A and B are shown apart, each in its own frame.
Chain A
Amino acid sequence: MSEEYNVQDLKNKVDERTIDESAKPALTRTLQENIETAWDRLEAQQPQCGFGQTGVCCNRCTMGPCRIDPFGGSPDRGVCGAGVDLIVARNILDDLNTGAAAHSDHGREVVETLLETSKGEAQGYEILDREKMLSIAAEYGLETEGKSDNEVARALALAMLEEFGTIKNYIQFTGRAPEKTRQIWKKTGIMPRSVDREIVEGMHRIHMGVGADAANILLHGLRTSLSDGWGGSMMATEVSDILFGTPEIKEAWTNLSVLKEDMVNIVLHGHNPILSEMVVEASRKPELKKLAEEKGAAGINLAGMCCTGNELLMRKGVPIAGNMLNQELALATGAVEVMVIDYQCIFPSIPNTASCFHSKIVSTSEKSKVPGAEHMEFHPHTALDTAEKIIRLAIENYENRDPNRVLIPGKPTKMMAGFSVEAMLKALGGSLKPLIDAIAGGKIKGAVGMVGCNNPKITHDYGHVQLSRELIKRNILVVQTGCAAIASGKAGLLLPQAASQAGEDLKGVCEALGIPPVLHMGSCVDCSRILVLAAELAKALDVGIDQLPLAGAAPEWMSQKAVSIASYFVSSGVYTVLGIPPKIFGSANVMGLMTETLNDIVGATYAVEPDPAKAADMIEKHINKKREGLGI
């Protein structure tokens, strides 16, 4: 693609693509130099097929592919006889399965690292949060008296791994949900039995000719999502805390300007912290700093990207360069020596972007090899060595950088992060009572868990930032994870000063506590922290989560993981507004089930509204209704 732009057109195009000021110089460069980005590829994909977008395309067996006329004409059945409701329901379950599997497989890998650590076989790892390990071991009913840390770690890792299988038939962390919510799950038959079982059964259920009842398929989707939120994802969060420390409130820096002109820049991109934590560890070695200096650099600069970035930010305060749509733009600064990738949300074309510069992509997971990337496979027992090799590669590559092509914008933005539930409790003086009082007294009208991705179909960060602003204005506290939290960080909403943008009541609370009106709770598996917070609030009030003045939002979602997150929010009783239409519009019945009927089943529904102001209105209305229900 080769287009010439005049100055004004170029500026307009960049402004339409992103509101992230730090991204604009690099984005402008991609247009001027024909460096392809996701926005260009989205344009090249137009028009996108309406059958796929509305979920009515079925490509499961070789009698197909089939598609249903979503306008109610013919054909109204696939070759096998599946009608539109079944096809749409199976497609959404397929996405949900994939998302739950991605989270849970990440979780499993962290638990496996705990197991290897307990055996002394993991290089560089240790139990950093012993207190948390002991309290979770107690939750699992494990004997801890007179046991060494390694013995407890081993028993806990094995107990968690057991929950991926089918013998135990129970996921321990579902016990953290309030009793009233658990009763709903039991009554509806969606209490998850095991992490892998629900996913595998979900895959079975979407096989050709397994059941034709759309509602029954969707209910299994809810159960699978619960096995993610209260299972695989929660294990990922908790065990990462055990190994790398439970996040504490801290200040850090964000946006593409965290890349440094005079340093060796290493971007850590993906989702799983187990290798990148070791890169942080290795980067502190004096001999590596010395080597970098010998090559003419002032030192080694690590910068996070996406949720690997969030994990390192939350625990280590490592600066974070950006979210999903920043990945190509980070390379387009011309200042990245190495981008280390693990898995999820990494553009398969990222080596092409890197090849426009001296930058190297290093893949590290056996599950996630990318042609054009250098593969340096990560294993816990050689983690530190691999991390050091990667850093050396980056240092060696520094001299290949063309200083004339370095384009690092302005200044980084300061942010506050690290709001784990534990950190919040500490900030509140040991109990959630001040928060509950603020909600009951109306100072905080309610809270919204805002999560999810970037999607080039909506102006980058606009959905997150605009909806956050609309909500805090209405005295609704916002907690965030994933790309949403990074967007807020770049926009300055994760600073205590941002309280000035909030309504008077929320502003007062934030100022009294010295916290921002938007709280960064972690990576996308850390949506489990939002569940724990909701559960604690509900238990304190002796109600179900569905009775709380809470809502979820995913203004810029794109991934299958987001389908799973939205679904475990809804099945846990949290009304969730999506900014991008899910692939269900082809079936009026599936839409009805998900946006209306579910309220009678789990006490919450999904809703769709791309316009941030309108989404905020819907959320406020919902929160007011819940407040009325509680008599507050």
Chain B
Amino acid sequence: MKTVFIDPKHCVGCRHCELACSRAHQKSALPLNSESPKPRIKIQPGVDFLTYPVRCRHCNPAPCIESCPTEALYRDPEHETVLVRDDQCISCGICAQECPFGAISFVFSPELGKDVAYKCDNCLQKVKNGGEPACVQACKTGALRYGEANELVSEARKGIVFDLTRDIQGMEPENIPANMEAFHAVCAKLAEIGPMHSSRKSI
């Protein structure tokens, strides 16, 4: 099973993934413009100016597929990808409501003349050709990584165990570089005394 792993500690909120998503789904070669497809991944600000890339997890069983009354949502079994049949969507919003990750939105379809469910398609064509989803390709900080789930897990496990054992030995866990930790710490203080949505007090 291939999947995208998200490491929020490495997300810098640059939104390269959003742009790459739009471009990957744009049919013309024109530069991105207001007509370009909306990104299916969303960089969402959280507390302390930290950000998180919200993207469909392609669950199995998928609450969206289970809840869709018209079978507009379905799975491509070969690539573990949840897709939408636009013409079957009745715009009821149940799938978005049931999604545990807030990864489904609605976008106007000119062909159908109404809003239809809109979500990540894992860049299916690229993946079928052996490539990676566009968002992962665009991420320069390792916040999004694509691969065999077990391989990604195994790598993550090494890091977790390394940190745990460092902790036992009274060592600091090996985290992000000290300068970026310092940056996050300053941003956290700023969030505390500032008026931003991302500050702790206004959430």
Residues 443-457 of A, flagged 1 when their CB comes within 8 A of B and 0 if not, give 000000000000011
The A/B interface has a contact count, at CB < 8 Å, of: 108
Partner of A610 from the list B10, B45, B193 (CB cut-off 8 Å) is B193
CB contact list, B151-203 vs A, under 8 A: 176-180, 182-183, 186-187, 189-190, 192-199, 201-202
The segment out of B12-20, B59-67, B94-102 that lies at the interface is B12-20
CB contact list, A372-413 vs B, under 8 A: none
A219 at the interface (CB under 8 A from B): no
B51 at the interface (CB under 8 A from A): yes
Q: Is the CB of A54 within 8 A of B49?
A: no
Chain A positions within 8 Å of B45 at CB level: 46-47
Cα A12 to Cα B203 in complex, Å, equals 12
Q: Name which of B10, B186, B195, B196 has the most chain A CB atoms within 10 A of its CB.
A: B195
Q: How many residues of B contact A (CB 8 A)?
A: 35
Chain A positions within 8 Å of B201 at CB level: 16
Q: Is the CB of A47 within 8 A of B15?
A: yes
**Known A48-B13, A72-B177, A462-B193: A591·B182 in contact at CB below 8 Å:** yes
CB contact list, B9-49 vs A, under 8 A: 10-15, 43-45, 49
B114 at the interface (CB under 8 A from A): no
B125 at the interface (CB under 8 A from A): no
Residues 75-97 of B, flagged 1 when their CB comes within 8 A of A and 0 if not, give 00000000000000000000000
Q: Is the CB of B179 within 8 A of A586?
A: yes
Residues 41-59 of A, flagged 1 when their CB comes within 8 A of B and 0 if not, give 0110011111101100000
Chain A positions within 8 Å of B10 at CB level: 71
Chain B positions within 8 Å of A610 at CB level: 186, 189-190, 193
Chain A positions within 8 Å of B11 at CB level: 50
Question: Separation in Å of the B184 CB from the closest CB of chain A?
Answer: 9
Chain A positions within 8 Å of B202 at CB level: 12, 16
Cα A70 to Cα B176 in complex, Å, equals 9
Cα A46 to Cα B202 in complex, Å, equals 15
Which chain A residue lies CB-closest to B195?
A16
B141 at the interface (CB under 8 A from A): yes
Cα A611 to Cα B192 in complex, Å, equals 9
Chain B positions within 8 Å of A70 at CB level: 12, 141, 177, 179-180, 183
Cα A591 to Cα B12 in complex, Å, equals 19
Q: Is the CB of B177 within 8 A of A71?
A: yes
Q: Is the CB of B196 within 8 A of A71?
A: no
Q: Is the CB of B179 within 8 A of A585?
A: yes
A298 at the interface (CB under 8 A from B): no
Chain B positions within 8 Å of A48 at CB level: 13, 49
Chain A positions within 8 Å of B180 at CB level: 54, 70-71, 585-586
Q: Is the CB of A43 within 8 A of B15?
A: no
Which chain B residue lies CB-closest to A584?
B179
Q: Is the CB of A50 within 8 A of B195?
A: no
Chain A positions within 8 Å of B12 at CB level: 49-51, 53-54, 70
* Dominant SS among interface residues on chain B: mixed
Question: Separation in Å of the B139 CB from the closest CB of chain A?
Answer: 10
Q: Is the CB of A46 within 8 A of B198?
A: yes
Chain A positions within 8 Å of B179 at CB level: 70, 585-588, 591
Question: Separation in Å of the A604 CB from the closest CB of chain B?
Answer: 20
Question: Separation in Å of the B141 CB from the closest CB of chain A?
Answer: 5
Q: Is the CB of B187 within 8 A of A73?
A: no
Chain B positions within 8 Å of A591 at CB level: 179, 182
Chain A positions within 8 Å of B2 at CB level: none
Partner of B195 from the list A39, A53, A588 (CB cut-off 8 Å) is A39
Cα A39 to Cα B193 in complex, Å, equals 14
CB contact list, A34-89 vs B, under 8 A: 39, 42-43, 46-51, 53-54, 67, 69-75
Question: Separation in Å of the B21 CB from the closest CB of chain A?
Answer: 16
* Dominant SS among interface residues on chain A: loop
Partner of A69 from the list B142, B186, B192, B197 (CB cut-off 8 Å) is B142
A580 at the interface (CB under 8 A from B): yes
Question: Separation in Å of the B192 CB from the closest CB of chain A?
Answer: 8
Partner of B193 from the list A47, A456, A458 (CB cut-off 8 Å) is A458
Chain B positions within 8 Å of A16 at CB level: 194-195, 199, 201-202
A608 at the interface (CB under 8 A from B): yes
Chain A positions within 8 Å of B190 at CB level: 457-458, 580-581, 610
Q: Is the CB of A611 within 8 A of B189?
A: yes
Question: Separation in Å of the B142 CB from the closest CB of chain A?
Answer: 5
B126 at the interface (CB under 8 A from A): no
Which chain A residue lies CB-closest to B12?
A50
Q: Is the CB of A43 within 8 A of B141?
A: no
Cα A47 to Cα B199 in complex, Å, equals 12
Q: Is the CB of B196 within 8 A of A457?
A: yes
Question: Separation in Å of the B132 CB from the closest CB of chain A?
Answer: 15
Q: Name which of A72, A74, A580 has the most chain B CB atoms within 10 A of its CB.
A: A72
Cα A581 to Cα B189 in complex, Å, equals 11
A172 at the interface (CB under 8 A from B): no
Cα A67 to Cα B140 in complex, Å, equals 8
A99 at the interface (CB under 8 A from B): no
Question: Separation in Å of the B96 CB from the closest CB of chain A?
Answer: 22
Q: Is the CB of A456 within 8 A of B195?
A: yes
A17 at the interface (CB under 8 A from B): yes
Chain A positions within 8 Å of B193 at CB level: 458-459, 462-463, 610-612
Chain B positions within 8 Å of A46 at CB level: 45, 196-198
Chain A positions within 8 Å of B14 at CB level: 49-51, 67
**5 pairs of A and B residues whose beta carbons are closest in the complex:** A50-B12, A47-B13, A585-B183, A16-B195, A588-B179
| CB<8 Å pairs between A and B, sample of 10 | A47-B15, A70-B141, A70-B183, A581-B183, A581-B186, A581-B187, A585-B183, A587-B179, A588-B178, A591-B179
Instruction: Give residues in B with beta carbon < 8 Å to A.
Output: 10-15, 43-45, 49, 51, 140-142, 176-180, 182-183, 186-187, 189-190, 192-199, 201-202
Given A47-B45, A54-B183, 17 other A-B residues pairs in contact with their CB atoms under 8 A? A43-B197, A47-B15, A51-B14, A71-B142, A71-B180, A456-B194, A457-B194, A459-B193, A462-B193, A463-B193, A581-B190, A585-B179, A587-B179, A588-B177, A609-B186, A611-B192, A612-B193
Instruction: Give residues in A with beta carbon < 8 Å to B.
Output: 12-13, 16-17, 39, 42-43, 46-51, 53-54, 67, 69-75, 456-459, 462-463, 580-581, 585-588, 591, 608-612
